[in-house]
Amino acid sequence: MRLRVEITEAPLRPEAWIEEVADPSAGAVATFVGVTRNSFRGKGVRYLEYEAYRPMAERALERIGMEIAARWPPVTGVAIAHRVGRVEVGEASVVVAISAPHRAEALAACEFGIGLLKRELPIWKREVLEGGAVWRENEATPGRGGEPP
């Protein structure tokens, strides 16, 4: 299985990550792209600032890839990239691309991957609003303190 992960300041190009998982035996590529929205619960968002614990985040992305490989052995490729620094409205903050022979495992692995990433990846999001800024955390993790499942 191909596995490539990256934490980067550069804008994310989804097509680069789709190409990354290409494989002659893969009939399906499922991709999730997270994009900065212009509002959060009615408040205008100007931009986001992501901060990472970078070496741990890179390792966490690799573990997500290995966990996907263990759960869906047919998967042929996993590519995950997360941006750090300032991300404007409409820009991608995360791309998860999965290739597999058939669509069911590609789609399921993609959904699993983004869910695990949101719980485990040591990255923090500062939402800069029209009047102030807040640390915006992901929805509560079901209490697990340990390793990624």
Partner 1 sequence: MTGGTFEVLLFGPAREAAGGDRVSVEVDGPATAGGVVAALERAHPALAPLLPRARVAVNRCYVEAGTPVESGDEIAIIPPVGGG
Q: Torsion-angle region of residue 57: left (phi > 0), alpha (psi -120 to 50) or beta? A: alpha
Which residue of 55, 73, 85, 149 would you call a contact of partner 1, by CB under 8 A?
55
Closest approach, Cβ 13 to partner 1, in A, equals: 18
Tell me which H or E stretch contains 49: strand 43-52
**CB-nearer residue toward partner 1: 19 or 51:** 51
Using an 8 Å Cβ cutoff, are 73 and 93 in contact? no
Least separation in angstroms between residue 52's CB and partner 1 is: 8
Residue 56: CB minimum distance to partner 1, A = 4
Q: How far apart are CA 10 and CA 86, in angstroms?
A: 10
**x/- string (CB under 8 A) for a second copy, residues 34-73?**
xxxxxx----------------------------------
Q: Which does 66 bind (CB under 5 to 8 A by kind): a second copy, partner 1, none?
A: none
Contact in structure between 148 and 120 (CB atoms under 8 Å): yes
| Contacts with partner 1, residue ranges (CB under 8 A) | 34, 50-53, 55-57, 59, 82, 93-94, 103, 114, 117-126, 135-138, 140-141, 145-148
| Contacts with a second copy, residue ranges (CB under 8 A) | 13-15, 18, 22, 24-39, 89-90, 99, 101, 103, 106-107, 110-111, 114
